[in-house]
């Protein structure tokens, strides 16, 4: 099984993201670090799958995608979807809804 990984920077959110895909091209791993200027810290601590974030993604994506098919919302492309899910996850973590690891 081929594993594909990529790192993207989302300047608007000041975020570096780790994304891995299965051989079908589906997201099967996520992690992120706030701060575009922390490449060393990212590769040391965040260049790996965060299981909680990945599980959250698989739950939240269906809801976000469902909402985006409503004619009131534009279609959401993958990086935007991932960025929005990271914001939701971070907000829930900050507010204690999701436990910190």
Provide block-wise average pLDDT over 10 residues at a time, the chain (101 residues): 83 93 91 88 92 93 64 66 90 85 62
| DSSP H/E element including 33 | strand 27-34
In which domain, by residue range, is 85 found?
Answer: 4-94
Per-residue model confidence (pLDDT) at position 65: 64
- When divided into structural domains, the chain yields a total of 1
Residue 75 CA to residue 28 CA, distance in Å, equals 21
Does residue 57 fall inside a structural domain? yes
Q: Could you tell me the pTM of the whole model?
A: 0.80
43 part of a folded domain: yes
């Amino acid at each position: 099984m081929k594993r594909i990984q990529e790192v993207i920077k989302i300047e608007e959110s000041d975020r570096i993201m780790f994304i891995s895909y299965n051989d079908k091209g589906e997201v099967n791993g996520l992690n992120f670090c706030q701060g575009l200027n922390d490449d060393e810290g990212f590769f040391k601590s965040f260049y790996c799958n965060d299981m909680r974030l990945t599980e959250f993604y698989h739950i939240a994506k269906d809801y976000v995608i469902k909402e985006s098919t409503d004619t009131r919302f534009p279609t959401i492309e993958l990086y935007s979807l991932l960025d929005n899910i990271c914001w939701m996850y971070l907000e829930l973590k900050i507010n204690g809804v999701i436990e910190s690891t």
